[in-house]
Amino acid sequence: MQTVQAYRFALDLTPAQERALLAHAGAARVAFNWSLARVKAVLDQRSAERSYGVAEELLTPLAGWSLPALRRVWNVEKGVVAPWWREVSKEAFNTGLDALARGLQQWGDSRRGQRAGRPIGFPRFKTRHRSAPSVRFTTGAIRVEPDRKHVVLPRLGRLKLHESARKLARRVEAGTARIMSATVRRAGGRWHVAFTVTVERTDRRPAQPTATVGVDVGIRHLAVLSTGDLIANPRHLDAAQARLRALGRAMARRQGPDRRTGRAPSRRWRRASARLGRAHARVADLRRDGLHKLTTRLACTYGTVVVEDLHVAGMLRNRSLARHIADAGFAEIRRQLGYKTVWHGGRLVVADRWYPSSKTCSRCGAVKAKLPLRERTYTCTSCDLVLHRDLNAAHNLANLAANPADTAQVSTAGSGPVAGRGANQKTHPGGQEAKNRQPGTAPADQTGTVPSQDRTAA
């Protein structure tokens, strides 16, 4: 089975290498901003001409925003826009142009109703203070050195890794992996390199291929399994709140930037901001490590894993629980299980968003009309079952996968998109038309459209 996966390693750079990487990231930003300004100017000009009553055939010619179109125009104008273009790799400019092409394509698809989810706004200009420096290499010398402690990238040369790259090197040497691209990015005060690799994976089987486990995620416990295991929620953000508050107060006492007066931040403010960023990055790293260990354990052990299709964006509107929900990472658990179950020969089943897993009795199937969140123990009035609320939900999820006849409540999910989210099964105030409308789309008279003459397919 051939898959595409990423290998991410931390870098230990010299000051000269860091300056070179910042120059490449700056070049990508220049190409992005210049091309965006050009596309925006043409769209604004055409909009103004239409308001004056100019005929369509007399409007300003369109500016294509596909990657080949942006690259052709940039190659013509780069000598004027960036006379220093020979000092950096061509991949730096391609990074910015590719990001712009993707952003404009997603904006156009969202306006035409061809993209599910929240509306995508028009791309904004990038600044070195608001965007993380990043550059992507797709051509040239990209390899891991034989000592497995260094990597080679175009124009940057030999870069030292903070950790060994033996896992990637072994696959490349065995011929079961091929490096497609390498992305260097700074986050939390540290540079990382991520290799996009096509890997030929051997067929695997879980330790218990016939076993089914229901996973109910929550705040008090990160995950409650139908086997009775309770996975504790480490609450990394809560544990770091005292230090984060102290660092935030220390930064507030420094002289920060002021957009109104153009005042630049002081060096002490920059150092305090860097310390706060590293503290947040540590919390994110701890959370990521814990979630990877949990999902790998589930995918390697059970043949079928059942989770819920939670509306996390709606749950985050609860001001009392938003921080705890975001810290738990519900969506990340499902995303990782989606591809790890495929890798290990298992199956991921996603219960419908409106399936009442917590309100249903796992013994007799009776469904309660209401079950407040404060009630942590499920008590069935029909069969006198008394069980922990989350454990009862986990049992219901496991039973759902064992009943293949109930196809309306489950959908199989792998590494691709989930079929049948079920959000259109609940009665909506708008009547039958609103009920049948697919989630993430707007009614016909409210959906924004991009005229076909004002866009170029990427």
Is residue 147 part of the annotated active site? The answer reads: no
Quote the Cα angle for 416-418-420, to 5°: 150
Residue 117 falls in which region: left (phi positive, over 0), alpha (psi -120 to 50) or beta:
left
Rounded Cα distance between 113 and 440, Å, is: 8
Please list the helix, strand and coil fractions of the chain in percent, rounded to the nearest 5, in that order: 40, 20, 40
Q: Please name the residue ranges forming H helices in 128-266.
A: 166-174, 236-239, 241-252
Which single residue is written with the structure tokens 């409540």?
409
Q: How far apart are the first and last CA of the chain?
A: 30
Distances (CA, A) of 431 to 116, 424, 428: 21, 11, 6
Is residue 390 part of the annotated active site? The answer reads: yes
Rounded Cα distance between 324 and 315, Å, is: 11
374 exposure class (CB count in 10 Å sphere: 0-12, 13-18, 19+): exposed
Q: What are phi and psi of 135, to 5 degrees?
A: -150, 140
Quote the Cα angle for 191-196-197, to 5°: 135
Q: Which of 91, 309, 327, 390 is catalytic?
A: 390
Contact (CB, 8 A) for 195 and 211 = no
User: What is the residue-wise DSSP string for 379-444?
Assistant: E-TTT--EEEHHHHHHHHHHHHHH-TT-TTSEEEE-SSPPS---TTSS--TT-HHHHHSPTT---T
Q: Please name the residue ranges forming H helices in 10-139.
A: 15-51, 67-81, 90-111
Q: Which of 216, 309, 327, 352 is catalytic?
A: 216
Is residue 18 part of the annotated active site? The answer reads: no
Q: Which of 308, 309, 327, 352 is catalytic?
A: 308
Burial 249-281 (b: 16+ CB within 10 A, else e): ebbeeeebeeeeeeeebeeebeebbeebeebbe
Q: Which two tokens stand for residue 241?
A: 């709140």
> How many C-beta atoms lie closer than 10 Å to residue 286's C-beta?
15
Contact (CB, 8 A) for 101 and 458 = yes
What letter does residue 348 receive in the DSSP assignment?
E
Of 141, 145, 146, the residue nearest 181 (C-alpha): 141
> Looking at the annotation, which residues are catalytic?
216, 308, 390
